[in-house]
């Protein structure tokens, strides 16, 4: 049994790889930072391989797809991703395109190709990592990031229903966590003003729920409550509230 995890060099991806290895899966670890991947590989209990890939790069995404097919993986976890803080008016377009490539295009391409392979094999799990951001109407000051996560959530749910009607053993899940203590903030240029969860808790929770065929996975009681309550708030007011939370996230130098 084999799993491929993107963004396995750090945070949730690293902890999902460690947990999957603990329960018996061989792992293919994907990310750009080789040294960090070697550190993760050393922590694993099962045979594992490192695949260096920049998911901003189409050829590297093809390389990952080829590896999924060659190894006939049983689990694909599309976890690699990052955010970028700032007003849309001022933010760097090239960085945003990179974010769309990693958070959306790579996820889309990997999901499509691996789904075809799993459908033929009549089995497998695809877990896409979105965010609680993907369940909200928009995210002022992190607008592109929220939009990418909405895409991942929407795509995965659409595929879940299409696939369910085909009566096969491929399973789709989307992980929508709130704040987690990882390297995400350093990359995004933010700091959390809400209580964050530990990434090893989220990783284990997500994998366990994936195996139970849960479609939308939201770790943490408070995050679940918040997401439930926001449904009763009108969109304009909700956007104001989100803005006021995000504005405090800007890094104070
Ligand atoms: N932390 C949170 O609060 C939070 C909440 C909700 C959802 N999420 C989502 O959870 C996922 C994992 O994030 P994290 O919190 O664990 O952050 P993290 O610690 O920064 O990990 C991000 C991972 O993505 C990889 N990555 C980034 N750009 C890449 C690229 N161009 N090509 C290949 N890999 C790339 C990084 O590896 P390299 O740098 O080595 O390439 C790293 O392994 C992301 O999709 C994020 O949006 C995070």
Ligand 1 touching residue 210 (CB < 6 A): no
**Site to substitute for ligand 1 among 37, 59, 81, most atoms within 8 A of C-beta:** 81
Atom of ligand 1 nearest to the CA of 196: 3
Q: Which residues contact 147 (CB under 8 A, 6 or more apart)?
A: 138, 139
Contact 87, 24 (CB under 8 A): no
Residue 194: what pLDDT?
75
CA-based end-to-end distance of the chain: 47
Q: Which domains are present in the chain?
A: 2-247 (3.40.50.720)
Residue 251: what pLDDT?
60
Helices (H) and strands (E) in the chain, counts: 10, 9
Which positions are catalytic? 145
| In the predicted structure, residue 183 carries a pLDDT above the cut 70 | yes
Ligand 1 touching residue 108 (CB < 6 A): no
**Site to substitute for ligand 1 among 30, 147, 182, 201, most atoms within 8 A of C-beta:** 182
d(CA 49, CA 126): 19
| In the predicted structure, residue 154 carries a pLDDT above the cut 70 | yes
Ligand 1 touching residue 79 (CB < 6 A): yes
Ligand 1 touching residue 179 (CB < 6 A): yes
What is each CA distance from 167 to 116, 162, 210, in whole angstroms? 14, 10, 18
Phi, psi of 20 (to 5 degrees): -65, -35
- pLDDT tens digit string along 100-142? 999 999 999 999 999 999 999 999 999 999 999 999 999 999 9
Residue 253: what pLDDT?
39
- pLDDT tens digit string along 185-243? 999 988 877 789 999 999 999 999 999 999 999 999 999 999 999 999 999 999 999 99
- pLDDT tens digit string along 47-87? 999 999 999 999 999 999 999 999 999 999 999 999 999 99
- pLDDT tens digit string along 70-81? 999 999 999 999
């Amino acid at each position: 049994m084999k799993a491929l995890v993107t963004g396995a060099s750090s945070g949730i991806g690293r902890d999902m790889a460690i947990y999957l290895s603990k329960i018996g899966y061989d792992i293919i670890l994907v990310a750009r930072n080789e040294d960090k991947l070697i550190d993760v590989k050393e922590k694993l209990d099962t045979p594992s391989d490192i695949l260096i890939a920049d998911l901003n790069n189409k050829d590297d995404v093809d390389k990952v797809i080829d590896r999924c097919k060659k190894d006939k993986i049983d689990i694909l976890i599309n976890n690699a991703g990052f955010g970028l803080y700032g007003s849309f008016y001022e933010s760097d377009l090239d960085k945003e395109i990179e974010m769309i490539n990693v958070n959306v295009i790579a996820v889309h391409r990997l999901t499509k190709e691996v789904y075809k392979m799993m459908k033929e094999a009549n089995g497998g799990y695809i877990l896409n990592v979105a965010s609680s951001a993907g369940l909200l109407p928009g995210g002022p000051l992190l607008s592109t990031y929220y939009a990418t996560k909405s895409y991942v959530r929407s795509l995965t749910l659409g595929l879940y229903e299409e696939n369910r009607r085909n009566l096969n053993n491929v399973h789709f899940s989307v992980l929508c966590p709130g704040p987690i203590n990882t390297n995400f903030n350093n990359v995004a240029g933010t700091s959390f003003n809400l209580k964050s969860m530990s990434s090893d808790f989220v990783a284990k929770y997500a994998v366990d729920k994936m195996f139970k065929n849960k479609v939308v996975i939201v770790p943490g009681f408070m995050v679940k409550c918040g997401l439930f309550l926001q449904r009763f708030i009108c969109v304009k007011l909700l956007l104001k509230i989100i803005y006021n939370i995000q504005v405090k996230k800007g890094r104070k130098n």
